[in-house]
Structures are given as C-alpha cells and as structure tokens.
C-alpha cells in the first residue's frame, strides 16, 4: 500500500500574540486541533438569528497567531459536516457549490482531517464530494474498503516540522453501523480501534521511522458508556483503551463525546500519554506541544484554549461573506406564524407540543402504528411569531432519517419501561420526580428519553422499575396486545440501536436489530417536519398555526406528580 506524505504550506499572518499561551522553542512542534465543530463555521447563530461568540472564524484568529511564531500542524478530528444550517445548506440545498467545509479547511490550511460518525451520516454523496474537494488528507485507519481490503480513507499522514517527522494516525468510533442504515456506510467495514491502532503503529514505525506519533481519535474516553466494558469488542469510546494497550503513541487527541478532558493514560511500558478532548462547536481549540530534548527524549504538553474571548478573523469573515449571506436568506425564510411558543422541557412532564410535532410527522410519513421520539435539546424554546427554517434546527439538530421496525407489544412495553427509568425517581421522593432535575443525578441525555405516540398510556412514578408503564389502548381505542406485532417508527439513530433502548429495553440482540427494519424514508426528519408545518400554514387563515400536544400519555398519580413536577421543571 502506498503511504502518502504531505507538506502543506504554512499560513503567515501579521496578527498580535496578545493573550497567547507560552509556545514552543526551536526544538518543539505545536499541534493544534479542532473537534466536533458541527458546522460552527461563522460567529453567528443561524437558529436564533444572533451573534455567537465561538466559531472557526474565532479559531482562525488564534491559529494565525500561533503560526506566526512556531511550526504548526493543524488537524480536525471529525463531525464537521452536520449540526447547523450552514453545513446543511451546502450539503443538501446548494449542492452545485463546492462543499463549504472543504472551502473552509482549504482556506485555513488544515494539514489533515479525521472523519466522524456525523460526517458519515450525511451520506456518500456529501462526504465523498468533500473528500474530493478538500486539499488535506482525510484520515481514518480503521475503516476498511470492503471491495479492496485497503483503508477506505487514508490511514495516516507524515508531517515534517523543524527537522522532525510527526506521524498522525486517525481512528473513528467503530459503532457507526449501530447508528446508521447501511446505505450511509456502504462499502465500509469499521474495525476495532485497539486492533487497528496496534497494526498501524507497527506500519508507521517500520516504514516511516517518525520522531513522534500522535493519535487523532473520533471516540471518547469513557469505555464504560452505554453499558459497555473494557472487554467490549469494537467499543464505541476506546481512546483510553488504545493508550493503555498499544505502545507507541506520544499523545492522543480525541473527540466524539463533546466533553472537556485533559488527562494522562499509562501505556503498556509505563509511559504517561496525554489524552486531550476539547469538547464541541469550536468553543475551544486544543494545543499539543511536543518538546524534543537533546538526549533524544520528548515531552508532550497539552492545553485547552477557550475561543469565546477571541475576536473572529476579519479576513475570514470577509472571504466567506457571500456564503454567510446565502445561509441567512435560507434560514430566515418563514414557514408559518406560530400562535404560541413551544418549550422542549414540557416533554419531560407528559405529552408535549415539542415532541408531538415530530410524532405527527413520523406517523404521517411512515404509516406506522406507533412512533418513538425524544426531546433532543431540552432547553430549546421556539418562540411565538414567525417560525423560520433556522428555528427548526433547534427542534432537530441532525439529519436523521426515519425507519420503521417490527416490534411485539411486549417489546414496545419494555422499551418504554427502560426509557422512563432514565428520567424519574423510584419512587418519587424528596419533593422531586425528575432525575434530570437533581444535580449529579442525571442518568442520560435528553435525546435518550423516548415517549410514544399511536398508543394511550400512563406512567406511574410510585411504582418500581419495570412496572411503571400501563398501555391502555391504541390511539384509536382498539386493544393493545402484548403478543401482537406492530410497526414502529423512529429516527435512524435509534433504529440502529443508538441509546440502547432497543437492545437493553426491548431486549433485541444488537446484531438482530437491523433485521427488524422493514422500511427507511430517504428524507431527513427535520425536512419532513418543515414540509408538514408549511402545508398546515398554507391551509390556515393568515398562515397562523398552533402546535398542540396529542395528550396521549401522562404521569400518575396526578396528586403526587403535579406539585413536584412543576418545581422540577424550573431547573430547565
């Protein structure tokens, strides 16, 4: 296999170094990296139509400062193609233009780009186009091309800085097939991170003899996440496991879990390996400084640099002004006039307008008997008045598709029991109902808290785990049968096992979940919701609509729930 070597021209801008950290000496190399950018390109919030204080425009200011004084390698760690209207517009609306993220990475002179699971979720047309158009190599050593047996992306890259050769080996979480239908990752096989890392470290050492090896891993540090263990094959978040089990890395830059992390792991030989995670949305940028000593040893130092106090680059904003204006025009397009505001937090207290607008669209476009959906961003508020395209990205951040599965009534009941165990006390006590309202007691993220439509049911907060949900009937009043099979619609992330509700709740073995999928709707769910609301507005007087709950489920006993639930919701 041919191993590519890259020498990317450095960008030099005359910008002030005020407030920059202590940087490298002549025998040092600085590695800067971003991760989980999720489309935060410009310092503007296109959902709320207001200025934002973090973006790649802010990062560009800092990166330029560091480049003025030292040898730099600039990396991105994946998940940049989804998350804001900016990238959605250039992925799926203006498809004739050069992909925006390719243009941005080229302008900023990124040296290498790792691939993330949300990049894969945009589909082959989008990310294959990006790979063709970006100048930097796109890396992922543990993604194999099923036709050739070679890596689908480039496995690593070598960079020469200050007379030193730095190898960057990239890995992606192998859990992608558990979240996405095969059409998104067709032609790919995702290998275990530890096994792949061991192989490629040996290849790099034997063929390249680098002075340092840096890992660029789109996977988190918590290998126990989602009921997994250190022994779970193809663990979702195996970054620490690689550091602990594979000798050869000098530092590892991670992401995927959106958490800040700056710790050390101990390698098999006892070396201390820095592990750095900078969170998401370019609120921060990571700095790894590799100091090469005269005796041949090296010291790696890591730090997290906040970007909120750094002004966005004027040259960056000016260069991409046409793109910013195009996206603003798109996101400001009015879909309807909303009569009343919609609050995501209401979804925690019972049937809600926020979740039920998704349920209605899901049932309409799939024809399924039952729908599952969760409040993705629990602090979201969609205000009354003009409902714009941009606001719909608050309702649904990512471009999930819709899938329909076959589940038995018993599996549906167990699925809901597992879901509600994540968000209520057992039993309700101390004047609280919601686990999420208790500091340090949050069991999971709000996007794992599924409710259902298509059935009528109650959730008894005084009952023990596994016996809280009582399904009264189907929505039309007909009997709900535990032995009968039903068609159940959910987003593609959940349908592939995301969040564990199908596996640990419904009790379906992870490898059997794909066999349950009987239909996939090839259009993103947010787009379908926009379409339905626009139609509703077109058929209403003056375009005014009211999004109302289905009122098909509630917490009981009402006398026990009402007061503490009201208090708990104040936490959001």
The predicted-structure confidence for 197-216, as pLDDT tens digits, reads as follows 999 999 999 999 999 999 99
How confident is the model at residue 66, as a pLDDT? 96
How confident is the model at residue 429, as a pLDDT? 60
- H or E, element range at 569: helix 558-569
Give the pair of three-digit tokens for residue 303: 């730090």
Cβ atoms of residues 371 and 489 within 8 Å? yes
| pLDDT tier for residue 561 given thresholds of 50, 70 and 90 | confident
The predicted-structure confidence for 264-306, as pLDDT tens digits, reads as follows 999 999 999 999 999 999 999 999 999 999 998 999 999 999 9
Q: What is the mean pLDDT of residues 27-45?
A: 96
Task: Provide CB contacts within 8 A for 114, sequence distance 6+.
Answer: 75, 76, 77, 78, 138, 139, 140, 170, 172, 216, 217, 218
Task: Output the average pLDDT for the chain.
Answer: 91
Q: What whole-number distance in Å separates Cα of residue 469 and Cα of residue 554?
A: 10
Cβ atoms of residues 320 and 312 within 8 Å? no
Task: Say yes or no to pLDDT of 4 above 50.
Answer: no
How confident is the model at residue 8, as a pLDDT? 29
CA 568 to chain centroid, in Å, comes to 27
Helical pair 353-366 and 525-538, crossing angle rounded to 10 deg = 100
Q: Identify the three-state secondary structure at position 27.
A: coil
How confident is the model at residue 448, as a pLDDT? 82
Q: How many residues does the chain have?
A: 572
At the fourth CATH level, which superfamily is domain 28-327?
Answer: Metallo-dependent phosphatases (3.60.21.10)
The predicted-structure confidence for 108-140, as pLDDT tens digits, reads as follows 999 999 999 999 999 999 999 999 999 999 999
How confident is the model at residue 376, as a pLDDT? 81
How confident is the model at residue 462, as a pLDDT? 86
What are the E-state strand segments in 397-450? 402-408, 424-429, 432-434
How confident is the model at residue 250, as a pLDDT? 98
- Per DSSP, the residues of 233-285 read TT-TT-HHHHHHH-TT-SEEEE-SS--EEEEEEE-TTS-EEEEEEE-STTSEE
**Domain boundaries, given as residue ranges, for the chain:** 28-327, 334-569
- Nearest to residue 240, comparing CAs of 215, 260, 210, 258? 215
Model confidence, pTM: 0.87
Q: What whole-number distance in Å separates Cα of residue 370 and Cα of residue 415?
A: 12
**Edge-to-edge strands of the sheet including 517-521?**
451-453, 370-373, 485-491, 402-408, 517-521
Q: What whole-number distance in Å separates Cα of residue 30 and Cα of residue 74?
A: 9
Q: What is the mean pLDDT of residues 430-447?
A: 60
Task: Say yes or no to pLDDT of 16 above 50.
Answer: no
Task: Say yes or no to pLDDT of 312 above 50.
Answer: yes
The lowest-confidence range among 169-178, 203-212, 492-501 is 492-501
At the fourth CATH level, which superfamily is domain 334-569?
Answer: 5'-Nucleotidase, C-terminal domain (3.90.780.10)
The lowest-confidence range among 13-22, 159-168, 261-270, 449-458 is 13-22
Q: Identify the three-state secondary structure at position 566.
A: helix
- Reported as half-sphere exposure (CB side, CA atoms, 13 A), residue 289 has a value of 17
Task: Say yes or no to pLDDT of 439 above 50.
Answer: no
How confident is the model at residue 226, as a pLDDT? 83
The lowest-confidence range among 41-50, 372-381, 481-490 is 372-381
The predicted-structure confidence for 205-256, as pLDDT tens digits, reads as follows 999 999 999 999 999 999 999 889 999 999 999 999 999 999 999 999 999 9
Task: Say yes or no to pLDDT of 314 above 50.
Answer: yes
The predicted-structure confidence for 48-68, as pLDDT tens digits, reads as follows 999 999 999 999 999 999 999
| pLDDT tier for residue 341 given thresholds of 50, 70 and 90 | very high
What percent of the chain lies above the pLDDT cut of 70?
92
Q: What is the mean pLDDT of residues 337-365?
A: 94
String of b and e for 22-56 (b: at least 16 CB within 10 Å)? Answer: ebbeeebbbbbbbbbbbbbbbbbbbbeeeebebbb
Beta bridge partners of 254: 217, 277
């Amino acid at each position: 296999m041919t191993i590519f070597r890259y020498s990317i021209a450095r960008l030099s801008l005359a910008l002030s170094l005020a407030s920059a950290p202590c940087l490298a000496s002549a025998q040092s190399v600085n590695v800067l990296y971003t991760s989980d950018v999720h489309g935060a390109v410009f310092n503007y919030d296109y959902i709320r139509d207001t200025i934002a204080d973090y973006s790649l425009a802010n990062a560009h200011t800092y990166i330029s400062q560091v480049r003025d004084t030292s040898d730099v390698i600039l990396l991105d760690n994946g998940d940049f193609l989804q998350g804001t209207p900016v990238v959605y517009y250039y992925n799926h609306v203006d498809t004739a233009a050069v992909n925006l993220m390719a243009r941005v990475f080229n302008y900023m002179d990124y040296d290498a780009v790792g691939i993330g699971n949300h990049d894969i979720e945009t589909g082959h047309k989008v990310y294959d186009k990006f790979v063709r158009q970006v100048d930097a190599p796109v890396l992922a050593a543990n993604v194999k091309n099923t036709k050739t047996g070679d890596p689908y992306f480039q496995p690593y890259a070598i960079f020469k800085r200050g007379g030193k050769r730095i190898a960057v080996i990239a890995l992606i979480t192998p859990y992608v097939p558990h979240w996405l239908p095969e059409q998104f990752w067709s032609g790919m096989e995702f290998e275990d991170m530890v096994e792949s890392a061991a192989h490629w470290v040996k290849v790099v050492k034997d063929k390249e003899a680098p002075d340092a090896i840096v890992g660029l891993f789109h996977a988190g540090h918590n290998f126990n996440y989602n009921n997994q263990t250190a022994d779970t094959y193809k663990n979702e978040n195996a970054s620490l496991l690689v550091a602990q089990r594979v000798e050869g890395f000098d530092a590892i830059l991670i992401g995927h879990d959106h958490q800040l992390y700056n710790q050390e792991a101990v390698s098999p030989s006892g070396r201390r390996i820095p592990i750095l995670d900078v969170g998401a949305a370019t609120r921060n940028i990571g700095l790894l400084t590799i100091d090469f000593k005269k005796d041949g040893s090296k010291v790696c130092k890591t730090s997290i640099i906040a970007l909120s106090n750094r002004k966005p680059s004027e040259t960056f904003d000016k260069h991409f002004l046409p793109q910013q204006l195009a996206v603003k025009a798109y996101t400001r397009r009015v879909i309807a006039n909303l009569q009343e505001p919609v609050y995501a937090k209401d979804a925690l207290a019972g049937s809600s307008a926020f979740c039920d607008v998704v349920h209605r669209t899901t049932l309409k476009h799939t024809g399924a008997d039952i729908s599952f959906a969760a409040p993705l961003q629990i602090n979201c508020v969609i205000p009354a008045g003009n409902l714009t395209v941009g606001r719909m990205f608050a309702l649904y951040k990512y471009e999930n598709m819709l899938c329909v599965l076959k589940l038995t009534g018993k599996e549906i009941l167990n699925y809901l029991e597992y879901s509600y165990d994540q968000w209520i006390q057992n039993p309700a006590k101390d004047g609280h109902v919601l686990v999420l309202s208790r500091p340090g007691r949050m069991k999971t993220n709000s996007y794992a808290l599924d409710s259902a439509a298509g059935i009528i049911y109650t959730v008894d907060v005084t009952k023990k785990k596994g016996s809280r949900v009582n399904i009264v009937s189907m929505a039309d009043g007909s009997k709900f049968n535990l032995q009968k099979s039903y068609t159940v619609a959910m987003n593609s992330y959940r349908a592939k096992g995301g969040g564990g509700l199908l596996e640990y709740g419904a009790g379906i073995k992870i490898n059997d979940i794909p066999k349950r999928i009987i239909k996939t709707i090839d259009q993103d769910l947010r787009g379908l919701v926009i379409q339905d609301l626009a139609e509703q507005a077109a058929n209403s007087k003056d375009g005014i609509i009211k999004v109302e709950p289905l009122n098909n489920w509630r917490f009981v006993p009402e006398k026990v729930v009402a007061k503490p639930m009201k208090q708990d919701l104040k936490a959001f």
